[in-house]
Amino acid sequence: MRKLLSYLKPYWKSTLLAPILMFIEVTCDLLQPTLLASIVDNGVAKGNLSYIIRTGGLMLCIALIGMVGGMGCTVASSISSQHFGADLRSAVFKKIQSFSFSNIDRFKTSSLITRLTNDITQLQMMVLMSLRMMIRAPLLFIGGIIMAISLNAKLSLILVVSIPLLILVLYRTMKKSTPLFSMMQQKLDRVNAVIRENLSGVRVIKAFVRAEHEKNRFATANDDLMQISLRAFGLIIIMMPIVMLIMNLSIVAVLWLGGINVTAGDMEVGQVMAYINYITQILFSLMMIGNMLLFITRASASIQRVNEVLDTPVDIRNNPDAEFTPISSGHVSFENVLFGYSENKEHLVLKGINFHVQSGQTIAILGATGAGKSTLVSLIPRFYDVTDGSIKVDNRDVRSVDLATLRSSIGIVPQDTILFSGSIKDNIRWGKKNATDEEIIEAAKIAQAHDFITSFPDGYETQLGQRGVNLSGGQKQRIAIARAIIKKPRILILDDSTSAVDMVTEQRIQQGLKQFIKECTTFIIAQRISSVMDADKILILSDGRIAAQGTHYELLKYSSIYQDIYNSQLGEGALIDA
């Protein structure tokens, strides 16, 4: 918690001002019952109208001062809490941006969204309530006890019984509710996960007529959240009547014993009225403290979840002596590379990978699903770090190169094409933020995207929906290719990036790439033999190992795996002709 409170330091003035103003409001509230008692005993009882007017005017002035203090406290606490929430949300977002792929794999996307929104909102509310309620309630509680004892110490023995009873009820409630509030946030993660999957996969759901199944899945997650919420808040609901019972019994005791004291001449009626006000303030403030502690109990789950993100060490970061020299040639070599997503070396995805790529060469990677093709190329820009061995670019280990320097020299078209809301021009310019319109058009032409872009009424200014929802799969892939090549990278990675493009368009894209980035080292992951036949080297991955490597014609002669792939796609006759 101390770490999170550091986000309040820049706003220490408003944070300090809030309790000062609340102190003024509480002081005014505590004075009112005494003044009221004075009016009853010295004004009403004695028929002194001028005293009633004078004291009533004083009460009004004090009430106005208290109102100003209360309003000022609300403004100051709102300023502090809103800035706190904004800065904390920004810090968590920046931390997520710095995560490696393995860090992100640890947290589910839906969970990260919940932490950035609901959890931080809980903390923001906690700060707001702390600066108001956690100042007001203790001051009322302590001040009320002092004023009550000053009126009648013997009558205050009632508080000796009622206060411990209230504390016991609050303690039991908090003890039982703490784990339930933590479970609530986890159930909320699940609801968000189902919602996110449904929104992103709505077309698949409709195509397979699975709407009812998804409704039931959401209903299950939603009901789980509702049930755990009912259990958590049910404790609070049960607590409230018990608290009110204790408060009412205390007031009855004050009336009974106060009446006896009035009859005996030890107290006046106005004092009894004031004492009832004070005991009500005391018990209500204790109840406020309890409610606040319950809210903090709920927020503690959010504190843990937010801290979990902030405290997670980033797996991939720059070395202290990282080199900033740009990538110049694009020569790439894998030297006995081993990689696994877990630390257990018995579950390696890549095993003993060795190969060298000269600058400007095109390397194709083929293999069955799950062979490790995408994993292999993701190691080059250090999305993951190797478990053992090394990867070198320009004869430098990628771990010794500054991350921004390394990745700025690499263009990537991922298997899952991601476009962002905005115009087509903005999406292509992602690859080079200061690209001119001429450069954007040139890149689009090479990617065979210019014709379909200009067919839209707004051309390059056409606005895309979320994830490019208003484009076809092939159109999205071509825009993603344009985005990658506009930066003129030294290394280009195409991860099955033309799977939704017809063969003629694919050939045109490859011809355009050869002319546009002649000295670029290119890695192509593809499913079609026709896509990789002209590559300088073809790697065949099988079970995380390089089963064969060579040119198209070399593999046709010596690799049975490549022959099987070739025959399955082009037929036996094609192999004989080759």
Q: Is the pTM of this model over 0.75?
A: no
Whole-number mean pLDDT of the chain? 84
Q: Which helix (H) or strand (E) holds 387?
A: none
Find the angle CA(23)-CA(25)-CA(28) to the nearest 5 degrees: 105
CA distances from 194 to 110, 210, 449 (A): 9, 14, 34
Predicted confidence at residue 576, as pLDDT, reads: 45
Predicted confidence at residue 344, as pLDDT, reads: 64
List the beta bridge partners of residue 72. Answer: none
57-66, 337-346, 460-469: which is most confident:
57-66
Query: Please, which pLDDT band fits residue 338 given cuts at 50, 70 and 90?
Result: very high
Task: Report the pLDDT averaged over residues 374-403.
Answer: 91
Q: Is the pLDDT of residue 575 over 70?
A: no
Q: Based on the number of CB atoms within 10 Å of its own CB, is 157 exposed (0-12), middle (13-18) or buried (19 or more)?
A: exposed
Predicted confidence at residue 333, as pLDDT, reads: 94
Query: Out of 65-69, 315-319, 437-441, 511-515, which region has the weakest mean confidence (pLDDT)?
Result: 511-515
Residue 363, φ and ψ in degrees, nearest 5: -115, 125
Query: Please, which pLDDT band fits residue 574 given cuts at 50, 70 and 90?
Result: low
369 or 85, higher pLDDT? 85
| CATH fold of the domain at 88-311 | ABC transporter transmembrane region fold (1.20.1560)
Query: Please, which pLDDT band fits residue 241 given cuts at 50, 70 and 90?
Result: confident
Q: Is the pLDDT of residue 261 over 70?
A: yes
Q: Is the pLDDT of residue 144 over 50?
A: yes
For the chain, what percent of residues have pLDDT higher than 70? 96
Helices vs. strands in the chain: H and E counts, helices first: 20, 12
Residues in the chain: 578
533-548 residue pLDDT tens = 888 999 999 888 999 9
Q: Is the pLDDT of residue 245 over 80?
A: yes
Predicted confidence at residue 572, as pLDDT, reads: 58
Predicted confidence at residue 334, as pLDDT, reads: 94
Task: Report the pLDDT averaged over residues 274-287.
Answer: 81
Predicted confidence at residue 266, as pLDDT, reads: 75
Q: Which helix (H) or strand (E) holds 371?
A: none
Query: Out of 55-59, 342-346, 356-360, 387-391, which region has the weakest mean confidence (pLDDT)?
Result: 342-346
25-82 residue pLDDT tens = 888 888 888 888 788 878 777 778 888 888 889 989 999 998 999 899 999 999 999 9
Task: Report the pLDDT averaged over residues 443-463.
Answer: 90
CB under 8 A, 24+ apart: contacts of 11-14: 11/79, 11/80, 11/83, 11/84, 14/76, 14/77, 14/79, 14/80
Q: What whole-number distance in Å separates Cα of residue 499 and Cα of residue 506? A: 9
Predicted confidence at residue 517, as pLDDT, reads: 67
Query: Please, which pLDDT band fits residue 84 given cuts at 50, 70 and 90?
Result: very high
Q: Is the pLDDT of residue 500 over 70?
A: yes
88 or 243, higher pLDDT? 88
For the chain, what percent of residues have pLDDT higher than 90? 19
108 or 91, higher pLDDT? 91
Task: Show me where the domains of the chain are located.
Answer: 88-311, 322-409+492-578, 415-488
Q: Is the pLDDT of residue 87 over 90?
A: yes
Residue 325 near residue 209, CB atoms below 8 Å = no
CATH of domain 322-409+492-578: 3.40.50.300
Q: What whole-number distance in Å separates Cα of residue 160 and Cα of residue 158? A: 5
Q: Is the pLDDT of residue 240 over 80?
A: no
Q: How are the residues of the chain apportioned to helix, strand and coil, as percentages rounded to the nearest 5?
A: 65, 10, 20
Task: Report the pLDDT averaged over residues 395-401.
Answer: 91
Output the CA torsion 255→256→257→261 (10° steps).
80
Task: Report the pLDDT averaged over residues 464-473.
Answer: 76
Site of tokens 């189902």? 194
Domain 415-488 has CATH 1.10.357.10: no
276 or 67, higher pLDDT? 67
Tell me if 322-409+492-578 shares its fold with 415-488: yes
578 or 329, higher pLDDT? 329
Residue type present at position 324: F
Q: Is the pLDDT of residue 520 over 80?
A: yes
Q: What whole-number distance in Å separates Cα of residue 316 and Cα of residue 43? A: 77
Residue 507, φ and ψ in degrees, nearest 5: -65, -40
222-232 residue pLDDT tens = 888 888 888 87
Chain centroid offset of residue 501 CA? 35
